[in-house]
Amino acid sequence: MIQAEISIYPMATKTTSASFYIAKAIESIQNIENLRYQVNPMGTILESDNIDVINGAAKTMMEVVHNLGIARVEVVIKIDSRRDKQVRMEEKLESIKKQMT
């Protein structure tokens, strides 16, 4: 299973808020087959068993922001690829919670 955290930063917008662009980027990946996602305050977690799906989703998100008139978009991606067992993002969180006292 592969999880990737992606953060999209539209540059040189007319406002300090990026929520409109982020929302449009997330909307663009909602129907991608074999992709799950979870939004958090600092980015979006993408999950798939195929890295090409994750890379395609990242490209789609970036292109959507460009197509909204933003000439420069910064994208940060962090990838966790695990082959010894299939662990979903919710299971990773549960494992952490079990360790907390």
Mean pLDDT in runs of 10 for the chain (101 residues)? 96 91 97 97 96 98 97 97 91 91 72
The three-state (H, E, C) secondary structure of 6-69, written as one string: EEEEECCCCCCCCHHHHHHHHHCCCCCCCCEEEEECCEEEEEECCHHHHHHHHHHHHHHHHHCC
Phi, psi of 85, rounded to the nearest 5 degrees: -160, 160
Residue 37: per-residue pLDDT: 97
pLDDT, residue 56, reads 98
Report pLDDT for 14: 87
pLDDT, the chain, mean = 95
**Topology given in CATH for the domain delimited by 2-99:** Alpha-Beta Plaits (3.30.70)
CB 8 within 8 A of CB 22: yes
User: What are the extents of the domains in the chain?
Assistant: 2-99
- Amino acid 11: pLDDT: 95
